[in-house]
Structure 1
Amino acid sequence: MGSAYSVSVKTGGSITIPCRYDQKYKTHVKYWCKGYYFNSCSPVVRTYPPNGTAKASISDDINQLTFTVTMTDLGSEDTEWYCCAVEINVGADVRIEGFHLFVTP
């Protein structure tokens, strides 16, 4: 699990977050989750089934063992804790990296 940190972005701006994962998770579903507590966070986007939104997209480069999340047109409502995660079919999902996004005026 990565350490938590804080990122500031201006209103209307965008952010791209690379999330590196272990080789053993290469074929697993990856997702981007919103919320302070990992066990109750809300998935924003997932690699499968694909569910990009108007503000968020996700792509997975299995050769580089990195999935990338991009959020655009950020507003104050996007200020929150987020994390990168890997879905585990049997057992608890794995949190890779977490951070606090702060959208400034």
Structure 2
Amino acid sequence: MIENDAKVWLVLALLAVGTYLIRLSFLGLVGNRRLPDWLARTLRFTPVAVLPALVAPLILWPEATGGTFDPVRGAAAATTVGVGLVTRNTVLAIVCGGVVLFGGLWLIPQ
């Protein structure tokens, strides 16, 4: 833990400046220019790569179960992926996965 309030505010200020500079590099400096085709094509895959990276630890090592795999969460993830692949509808896939998750947690108490 940081023992000094000044250090906390310094770290927060540096993180704020860093975040601002990262966003400025795309929005302020390149925002009104056409991106090269290879870069635009690469940036289209960013959400597809980030979302599984955020969700995978919650499925494989969920904090709610002490880090052990939970079949209910695995079934919800499999349902979400399956519905998404079949229907190509993101909202429907998320809703179906949520229904399986909450229904499974309701039917099988932890």
More helix by share: 2
More strand by share: 1
| Length-normalised TM-score, structure 2 | 0.22
Structure with the bigger RCO (C-alpha within 8 Å, sep 6+) is: 1
The structure that has the greater radius of gyration is 2
